A and B are shown apart, each in its own frame.
Chain A
Amino acid sequence: GENVEQHPSTLSVQEGDSAVIKCTYSDSASNYFPWYKQELGKRPQLIIDIRSNVGEKKDQRIAVTLNKTAKHFSLHITETQPEDSAVYFCAAPLYNFNKFYFGSGTKLNVKP
């Protein structure tokens, strides 16, 4: 929803290139920022998350960066592969820390 904005809505890259997806959030008290990957016909699954006490976290080819001052966080995928093609969602807990607000999703297409 509008509490978490995600861009771009679609992203097409060549295999081997990098992909970056950005999200902004509105509640400065948010302290946990997950990224989910949803392959076609499958459920969303957590791929990486970051807490507000660090600025960057890496896991092999994926990384997430967080800028708390600007209230935005980004997903970086390096050396993209066709199996990275999916819809990616960011999320942040807002206002009520029992629930997440999700971004509207980014459809990533990695062309072989």
Chain B
Amino acid sequence: DVKVTQSSRYLVKRTGEKVFLECVQDMDHENMFWYRQDPGLGLRLIYFSYDVKMKEKGDIPEGYSVSREKKERFSLILESASTNQTSMYLCASRVGIAGDEQYFGPGTRLTVT
């Protein structure tokens, strides 16, 4: 049973703080993803990684960076948090190409005040 976990379910940060969101998967998946979910906008891809140390921008990478030093761990970094980054952040992983099921983590509700 695939398990994707995220470091926090709820997080409150102040404007300008550096924020780290961590995601860990236990199924040796090559691909990992970070999405943000906002009402009416669906799931928007921030960044994804298809291998260790490899990353590719998604649709909304501005204000974010990522790190993948180990295959099982994918971190999302908000260099200087802003109020418009208040959102639900979902991590996902997938074993191969886009024809495989994508497994999601439970999400992190981030509030930036």
A interface vs B, CB < 8 Å? 1, 6, 9, 31-32, 34, 36, 42-46, 49, 51, 89, 91, 93, 96-105
Q: Does B11 contact A (CB under 8 A)?
A: no
User: Which residue of chain B has its CB nearest to the CB of A30?
Assistant: B98
Closest CB of chain A to B106's CB: distance in Å? 5
- The answer to whether A45 and B40 have CB atoms under 8 Å apart is no
- Contact across chains for A43 and B48 when beta carbons are under 8 A apart: no
Find residues 47-80 in chain B having any chain A CB closer than 8 Å to their own CB: 48, 50, 56, 58-59
**Which 10 residue pairs of A and B lie closest in terms of their CB atoms, listed nearest first?**
A93-B98, A104-B42, A102-B43, A43-B104, A32-B99, A102-B42, A97-B98, A46-B101, A44-B104, A105-B42
Number of interface residues of B (CB under 8 A): 24
Contact B98 A99 (CB under 8 A): yes
CA distance A46 to B105 in the complex (A): 13
Q: Please tell me if the beta carbons of B31 and A98 are within 8 angstroms of each other in the complex.
A: yes
List residues of chain B with CB within 8 A of the CB of A97.
97-98
- The interface residues of chain A lying within 8 Å CB-to-CB of B42 are 1, 6, 89, 102-105
Any chain A CB within 8 A of the CB of B13? no
Chain A contacts of B41 at CB under 8 A? 104
Q: Does B24 contact A (CB under 8 A)?
A: no
Best-buried of B43, B44, B97, B102 by chain A (most CB within 10 Å): B43
With A and B bound together, what is the CA distance between A42 and B50 in angstroms?
25
Question: Once the chains bind, are A49 and B101 in contact (CB under 8 Å)?
Answer: yes
Cα distance A1–B107 when bound, in Å? 20
Cβ–Cβ contact A43 & B45, under 8 A? no
Contacts of A46 in B (CB 8 A): 101-102
Provide the bound-state CA to CA distance between A1 and B50, in Å: 22
A26 to chain B, nearest CB (A): 14
Q: Which residues of B contact A96 (CB under 8 A)?
A: 56
**A98, B43: Cβ atoms closer than 8 Å:** no
Q: Taking the nearest CB of chain A, how far is it from the CB of B1, in angstroms?
A: 12
User: Using Cβ atoms and an 8 Å threshold, which residues of chain B touch A89?
Assistant: 42-43
What residues of B have a CB within 8 angstroms of the CB of A98 in the complex? 31, 48, 50, 56, 97-98
A36 CA / B42 CA spacing, docked (Å): 11
